[in-house]
Amino acid sequence: MVRAFLGMGLLGTNFVKALLDKGVEVQVWNRSPEKATALEAAGAKAFAAAADAVRGADHIHIAVKDDASVNQVLAAAVPGLKAGAVIIDHTTTSAEGAIQRTKEWKEKGFTYLHAPVFMGPANAREGSGFMLVSGDQAVIEKVKPLLEKMTGKLINFGPEEGKAAGMKLIGNCFLVTFAAGLADTLSLGKALHISAQDIGSLFDIWNPAQMLPTRLQRMSSGEYDKASWELNMARKDTQLFMNTVEHNNGTLAVIPAIAAEMDRWIEKGFGNSDWTVIAKDAVS
């Protein structure tokens, strides 16, 4: 069974190498041809045109930048698509784009499945990490054996088209805010002459990640009257963060925005509520 892979970035390249290791025949294409031809030494067949790369392939995988790139690449591949071919898109896209492509490609006589991933290059190479799917359960059942071999865990979010895309965006949103929060934490540490290693040792002993499920439940409950940390007090500490870093000529990326949001809720009369009240609009 021939597989095609369009998009030889870090993720696509390592997916292809893993497939080749398993003895799968893979045809590859990339906008920058050298990234595709580099895989010929590993056994892939590289093509200069997307349409040629997908010719004869039963399953076409794609991993590119965004919605527009997916649409452009698949439009270029149309002349070579085999009747009934299955398109599996690993690109992080909008939920709306995934829904629209599922509908449009079905009307054209092809199957499109959005399967975004929480996988880095190393995960793609070794078949670990997480791959997300949702939509037509019959389609998912057919490709499940193929996808399970590409990842550590295949997560099926049910029949709702676009839900996998939405869950991927939610995960990435958390990762972005998590990294930005860590950057601010490191900036505060620098201002206090506390090293990243010392901060790490604190988190080894006191692991705030353990609080995540309980904190999410608390924030989404809509109940903020019984405060474990009052918003006024959290805002006081937030000002200490900003004053300390500013005094040492440092910068903070996200804390000032959080402080402004806290001020908004304090002005609305929620100063004595639990500080997680700042999520009230997001869950109501």
**Tokens coding 118:** 């929480």
Distance, C-alpha 46 to centroid of its chain: 28
- Please, which contacts does 152-155 make with residues 24 or more away whose CB atoms are closer than 8 Å? 152/123, 152/127, 152/128, 153/129, 154/130, 155/130, 155/131
Sign, Cα dihedral of 209, 213, 214, 216: positive
Cα–Cα distance between 135 and 150 in angstroms, integer? Answer: 19
Q: What is the largest CA-CA distance in the chain?
A: 66
User: Coil, helix or strand for 7?
Assistant: coil
C-beta separation of 104 from 161 below 8 A: no
- Please, which contacts does 23-26 make with residues 24 or more away whose CB atoms are closer than 8 Å? 25/1, 26/2
Active-site residue set: 168
What's the distance, Cα to Cα, between the start and end of the chain in Å?
Answer: 50
**Torsions phi, psi for 49 (to 5 deg):** -120, 140
Q: Cα separations (Å) of 94 from 65, 134, 188, 190, 242?
A: 11, 14, 35, 37, 35
Angle at Cα 83 formed by Cα 105 and Cα 98, nearest 5°? 20
